[in-house]
Amino acid sequence: MNLAERLRIATRGSRLALWQAEHVRDRLRALRPTLTIELCIIKTAGDRILDTPLAKIGGKGLFIKELEQALLENRADIAVHSMKDVPVEIPAALHIPVVLEREDPRDCLVSRDGHTLAALPPAAIVGTSSLRRRSQLIRQRPDLCLQDLRGNVTTRLEKLARGEFDAIVLAAAGLRRLALAEHVTEYFSSTLVIPAIGQGIIGIECRRGDCAVEALLAPLENTLARDALTAERALNETLQGGCQVPIAGYARVVGSEVYLEALVASLDGREQVRAIRHGPRATAAAIGHALGHHLIEAGAARILRDINVLK
């Protein structure tokens, strides 16, 4: 491929994934107007298996493996991901040289009757596909009936409108990007419901050593998002987390410091280990690793062992 002529972007086909790929496309076109950019839509395992909770499917990278295979087979030049879907370990021949600025990382409630979490009626049916969200919500409202919810953002909103749920929990970033934020009933503070690792951050993956592509992408890098993500992913690496365990981690960059808050919870939310660490931005990875080890020593190791036994 001659990069001077064409760039191929691997993306999932959901409305949100396409928005993200098109956003990257438009940013790159602004940098190089003569470049022809093609979107290569690929269906992933996470897109195909919609009748099973994510935690029961097993494995990591359910939403990105097929995109990575397209890169490895030179059927695409870059892949655009939601970083919360990207496992710590990716193929050695690939890397993520660029992340974009972070959108609102919070989770939010969308309820059919306009109720906040506190105002939902007893035993209200709340939809979420995330063990992380479930474990934190049930601690606040143990009476709620939490049910699995799969599908893209539009599908989830349609299920709510049909009355299948009283409320659903979604990432604010996706709703904002799709101009659907008017549906939000309540934004959860990042301390009430700690976000997923990488939530709200778009990452661009490519082949290592593809210098022309790396040079094209470089101006899109956002260092604030990178430092926050570095801390969060270092935490996840230490905890060896995935969608099968309730792990949360959110880093804020304030001036020259990174503040990382994290949580490991039991599936029923009754047991939670959480802590905060902070330090210079240059030590973001060390902060994440240190916080992960602290959580393990504070009781997370036992919680994670119990979850693995249950699985």
Report the candidate in 178, 179, 181, 228 with the shortest Cα–Cα distance to residue 203. Answer: 228
Q: Which of 85, 104, 107, 227 is catalytic?
A: 85
Report the candidate in 15, 25, 17 with the shortest Cα–Cα distance to residue 66. Answer: 17
CA distance 35 to 159: 40
- 85 assigned to active site: yes
What is the sign, positive or negative, of the torsion defined by CA atoms of 139, 143, 144, 146? Answer: positive
Tokens at residue 231, please?
């801390």
Neighbours of 296 (CB within 10 A): 17
Burial of 48 (0-12, 13-18, 19+ CB in 10 A): exposed
Tokens at residue 193, please?
């419901």
CA distance 45 to 82: 15
Q: Which residues are catalytic?
A: 85
